């Protein structure tokens, strides 16, 4: 299933990396920030504006998680060439 959805593979690796003490804090912080933004009642576009309000939550959360996954990939390539995060 993970191979069918490449982004899902990145998310699985990201959650595994959250337990690794060597991973930089900003990589761990961005998914937490995405969850807080998703749950926080104050948004860029308010949720009562039905579709657009939900879409801005999705776009912001997706962007933060994607940046964290990219950062994790760069970190793994630079710092851990002999050990991959799987």
HSE (side-chain half, CA atoms, 13 Å) at 44: 11
Q: How many structural domains does the chain have?
A: 1
Residue 2: CB atoms within 10 Å: 12
13 near 69, Cβ under 8 Å?
yes
In a domain, 84, yes or no: no
In a domain, 60, yes or no: yes
Residue 38: give the domain boundaries: 6-79
Instruction: Compute the distance between CA of residue 37 and CA of residue 34 in angstroms, rounded to an integer.
Output: 5
Whole-model pTM over 0.85: no
Per-residue pLDDT of the chain (86 residues; tens, 9 = 90+): 445 555 677 677 777 777 888 888 888 888 888 888 878 767 777 767 778 878 888 888 888 888 888 888 888 787 755 555 55
In a domain, 23, yes or no: yes
pLDDT of residue 2: 47
Instruction: Compute the distance between CA of residue 73 and CA of residue 50 in angstroms, rounded to an integer.
Output: 35
């Amino acid at each position: 299933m993970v191979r069918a959805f490449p982004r899902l593979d990145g998310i699985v690796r990201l959650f595994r990396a959250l337990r690794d003490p060597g991973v930089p804090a900003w990589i761990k912080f961005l998914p937490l920030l995405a969850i807080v933004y998703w749950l926080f009642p104050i948004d860029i576009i308010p949720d009562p504006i039905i579709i657009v309000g939900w879409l801005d939550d999705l776009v912001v959360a997706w962007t933060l998680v994607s940046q964290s996954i990219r950062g994790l990939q760069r970190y793994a390539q630079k710092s851990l060439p002999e050990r991959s995060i799987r």
